[in-house]
């Protein structure tokens, strides 16, 4: 899959070139209960599959540097855009259960042998759940900074937590009242990169510009992210971070967790002490100092080497 | 968009009006104007898998208009593609109804009782009393997440109610302390001394916790509605 070149200015074509980035070798569509999911693959189709799950508000194209490194080492790297993200369909509803069902449809489209699962952030939590619900399909598990912990909330007083919940509920309902016919704001590649940079402050401008060329579409009035414009960070509900961590001790296959220690807006601030008691037998935790939440984008070589050594 | 549906009571047919929540069209049914059409409306929230009844239920006595909302995937409301239900999404459904109706009292059955509690906390100035009654979907999925699973409807399942709603909302986790937090929101921000009435006989853990909170009373549906009909909003 080549980056779009038709109707792009020279500047835009330059943005679509990033050192080491390689678009997937194949794309197909998997239908999950009526939702069209875009599934992409890097590497030889006959190589052993390795399932990768992107984080929330990301898309499979964010793996364009990291995934080829794994593919070049002999893996068939398979990923998909979660519903509402990237090139997958926008839907009426979004939920964790629906995301797991979608992921299961992607897994069902692959050969029925166990394979490694790898996920970043939300995708890391997702693969831990998938390893619990389909242990017969997973051979090893890699979680890249996707280990939510309530450790960062222990110093917050109960009344402050309650106030945050109420504020979040109010904000969420206010947001829901604005959704009808909502569209993303168009802009130039520079403008979209700048907006995304607020959530990804440690990532380079060149990388963010590149992401625009694969994660946005160009219309007559400018570029727009493909992400469903009605999606929003946060929300309210009963979910607690420790519920995700409780999936970890029962993992029955080799486990590698990677934590980026520099806290940033999209990360959890999870510390090794929050994870170590939950590691499954033989589980391994690697701590990357001076690296933020997007460990595989900030340090793709280091993280790919870690993963390949672990899988070997 | 408005329309007319089946006859709902002796004096006039029910009217269905349509609300938009995200990409969902929600059916809001007016079952009766009551003796005083200017009185604060009563909003009925049905249970899991149900729909707004065709007529005002016999146990409901209310001096003003009575409305019923079909949740997403239920009754005449849009059935979404590919599931993805949470109780919180249904709170957004009710919020769309409040945007149309203004101040209401709510009677919720089963799932609708849980939603009634949450929306009462979110919109305490607009919800003048909530009655939580027995009905399908009252328990939800318990107090902790169960083993992860992926469920699909049986082939040939009827499209309405959405089989994904039946599957997913039956697994919706409802920790007691989470429900208690919402009761406290209601009590803090409502002008009523007893803004929540529990009429349900069945008490899953979340509802038992709610019933034990200050500001929550227990009463039958008739008694609870009479109490709220006599209550003026002081929020």
Q: A134: distance to nearest CA of chain B, Å?
A: 9
The whole-number pLDDT of residue B234 equals: 46
Above 80 in pLDDT, residue B16? yes
Average pLDDT of every residue of chain B:
92
Contact assessment for residue B81 and residue A91, using Cβ atoms and an 8 Å cutoff:
yes
Answer yes or no: is B215 within a domain.
yes
A90 with A34: CB under 8 angstroms? no
The mean pLDDT value for B185-203 works out to: 94
Range with the poorest average pLDDT among B6-20, B34-48, B145-159:
B6-20
Query: How far apart (Å, rounded) are the C-alpha atoms in residues B214 and A24?
Result: 59
Cα separation of B219 and B227, whole Å? 10
**Residue pair A225/B74 in contact by the 8 Å Cβ criterion:** no
pLDDT of residue A6: 55
| B7 — pLDDT class (breaks 50, 70, 90) | very low
Strand, helix or coil at A75? coil
CA distances from B11 to B53, B56, B62 (A): 16, 12, 15
For residue B22, the domain's CATH number is 3.40.50.1820
CATH superfamily of A10-154+241-311: Alpha/Beta hydrolase fold, catalytic domain (3.40.50.1820)
Do residues A91 and A35 make contact, with C-beta atoms less than 8 angstroms apart?
A: yes
Q: Are B100 and B69 in contact (CB under 8 A)?
A: no
> Residue written as tokens 């440690």?
A202
Ranges of beta strands (E only) in chain B are 2-7, 13-21, 24-32, 42-45, 66-69, 104-109, 127-133, 196-198, 216-218
Please state, as a whole number, how many other Cβ atoms lie within 10 Å of the Cβ of residue A289. 8
* Residue A284: per-residue pLDDT: 98
CB atoms within 10 A of CB A288: 19
CA distance A156 to A115: 40
Around Cβ A180, how many Cβ atoms within 10 Å? 12
Q: Provide the domain count of chain B.
A: 1
Tracing tokens 């952030």 back to the chain, one arrives at A121
CATH 3.40.50.1820 placement within chain A: 10-154+241-311
Residue B152 lies in a domain: no
Q: Model's pTM, two decimal places?
A: 0.93
Share of chain B above pLDDT 90, in %: 86
**Is A93 at the interface with chain B, CB within 8 A?**
yes
Contacts of A180 in chain B (CB under 8 A): 20, 22
Q: A71 to chain B nearest CA, in Å?
A: 29
Q: What is the Cα–Cα distance from A75 to A140, expressed in whole angstroms?
A: 14
Residue B235 in any domain: the answer is: no
Res. B125: pLDDT tops 90: yes
Q: What is the pLDDT of residue B232?
A: 63
A34 and B CB contact within 8 Å: yes
Write out chain B residues lying below 8 Å of A236, CB-based. 88
> Using the beta-carbon criterion (under 8 Å), do A35 and B81 form an inter-chain contact?
yes
In-domain check, residue B27: yes
Q: Which range of residues forms the domain containing residue B108?
A: 2-144+157-229
- pLDDT, one tens digit per residue, over B28-71 is 999 999 999 999 999 999 999 999 999 999 999 999 999 999 99
Q: What is the pLDDT of residue A156?
A: 65
Report the percentage of chain B scoring pLDDT > 70.
93
| DSSP symbols for A237-281 | SS--HHHHHTTSTT--S-EEEEEE-S--TTS----HHHHGGGPPT
B90 Cβ contact list (under 8 Å, min separation 6) = B71, B72, B111, B115
- Determine whether the interchain pair A172/B88 forms a contact, defined as Cβ–Cβ distance below 8 Å: yes
Does the pLDDT value for residue B111 go beyond 50? yes
List, as own/partner pairs, every contact residues B14-17 make where C-beta atoms lie below 8 angstroms and the sequence separation is at least 24, other chains included: B14/B54, B16/B76, B17/B100
Q: End-to-end alpha-carbon separation of chain B, Å?
A: 32
The answer on pLDDT for B115 being more than 80 is yes
Ordered mean pLDDT values, 10 residues apiece, chain A (312 residues):
63 92 98 97 98 97 98 98 98 96 98 97 97 96 93 66 85 90 92 93 94 95 94 85 91 97 86 95 97 96 98 96
Looking at CA atoms only, how far is residue B222 from chain A in angstroms? Answer: 31
Q: B35 vs chain A: nearest CA distance in angstroms?
A: 32
The count of other CB atoms within 10 Å of the CB of residue A233 is 9
> With contact defined as beta carbons under 8 Å apart, do A51 and A142 qualify?
no
Spatial separation of the C-alpha atoms in residues B28 and B43, rounded to whole Å: 9
Q: Is the pLDDT of residue B8 over 50?
A: no
Q: What is the pLDDT of residue B60?
A: 98
Mean pLDDT along residues B195-223: 97
Among A250-264, B11-25, B120-134, which stretch is predicted with the lowest mean pLDDT? B11-25
Q: Across the A/B interface, how many CB contacts are shorter than 8 Å?
A: 107
pLDDT for residue A155: 59
Closest B-chain CA to A169: B122
**pLDDT at residue B3 in the model:** 40
Instruction: Answer whether residue B128 shows pLDDT above 90.
Output: yes
Mean pLDDT over B66-93 rounds to: 97
Report angle CA B44, B45, B51 to the nearest 5 degrees: 100
State the best of B18, B25, B72, B82 to mutate against chain A, taking most chain A CBs within 10 Å.
B82
Q: What pLDDT is attached to residue A164?
A: 83
């Amino acid at each position: 899959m080549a980056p779009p070149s038709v109707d792009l200015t020279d500047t835009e074509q330059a943005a679509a070139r990033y050192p080491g980035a390689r678009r997937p070798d194949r794309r197909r569509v998997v239908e999950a209960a009526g939702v069209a999911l875009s599934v992409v693959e890097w590497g030889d189709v006959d190589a052993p599959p390795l399932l990768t799950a992107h984080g929330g508000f990301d898309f499979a194209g964010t793996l364009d540097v990291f995934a080829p490194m794994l593919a070049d080492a002999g893996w068939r790297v398979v990923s998909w855009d979660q519903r509402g993200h990237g090139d997958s369909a926008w839907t009426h509803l979004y939920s964790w259960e629906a995301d797991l069902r979608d992921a299961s449809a992607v897994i069902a489209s692959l050969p029925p042998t166990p394979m490694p699962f790898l996920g970043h952030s939300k995708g890391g939590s997702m693969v831990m759940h998938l390893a619990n619900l389909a242990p017969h399909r997973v051979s090893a598990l890699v979680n890249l900074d996707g280990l939510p912990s309530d450790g960062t909330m222990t110093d917050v007083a109960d009344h402050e937590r309650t106030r945050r919940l109420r504020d979040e509920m109010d904000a969420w309902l206010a947001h829901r009242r604005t959704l009808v016919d909502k569209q993303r704001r168009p802009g130039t590649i520079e403008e979209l990169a700048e907006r995304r940079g607020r959530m990804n402050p440690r990532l380079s401008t060149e990388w963010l510009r590149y992401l625009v060329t694969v994660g946005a579409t160009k219309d007559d009035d400018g570029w727009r992210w493909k992400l469903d414009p009605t999606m929003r960070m946060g929300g309210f509900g009963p979910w607690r971070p420790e519920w995700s961590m409780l999936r970890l001790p029962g993992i029955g296959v080799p486990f590698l967790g990677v934590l980026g220690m520099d806290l940033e807006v999209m990360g959890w601030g999870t510390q090794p002490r929050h994870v170590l008691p939950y590691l499954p037998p033989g589980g391994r935790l690697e701590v990357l100092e001076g690296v933020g939440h997007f460990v595989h984008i900030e340090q793709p070589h280091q993280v790919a080497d870690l993963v390949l050594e672990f899988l070997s | 968009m408005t329309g007319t549906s089946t006859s709902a009571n002796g004096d006039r047919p029910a009217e269905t009006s349509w609300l938009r929540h995200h990409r969902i069209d929600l059916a809001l049914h007016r079952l009766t104007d009551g003796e005083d059409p200017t009185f604060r409306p009563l909003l009925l929230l049905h249970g899991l898998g149900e729909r707004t009844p065709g007529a005002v239920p016999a146990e409901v006595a209310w001096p003003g208009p009575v409305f019923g909302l079909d949740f997403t995937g239920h009754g005449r409301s849009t059935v979404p593609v590919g599931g993805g239900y949470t109780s919180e999404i249904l709170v957004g459904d009710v919020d769309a109804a409040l945007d149309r109706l203004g101040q209401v009292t709510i009677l919720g059955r089963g799932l609708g009782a849980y939603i009634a509690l949450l929306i009462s906390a979110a919109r305490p100035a607009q919800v003048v009393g909530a009655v939580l009654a027995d009905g399908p979907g009252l328990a939800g999925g318990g107090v902790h997440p169960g083993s992860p699973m992926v469920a699909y409807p049986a082939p040939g399942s009827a499209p309405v109610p959405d089989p994904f709603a039946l599957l997913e909302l039956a697994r919706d986790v409802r920790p007691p302390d989470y429900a208690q937090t919402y009761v406290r929101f209601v009590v803090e921000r409502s002008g009523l001394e007893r803004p929540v009435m529990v009429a349900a006989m069945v008490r899953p853990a979340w509802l038992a916790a709610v019933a034990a909170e200050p500001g929550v009373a227990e009463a039958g549906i008739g008694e609870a509605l009479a109490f709220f009909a006599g209550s003026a909003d002081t929020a």
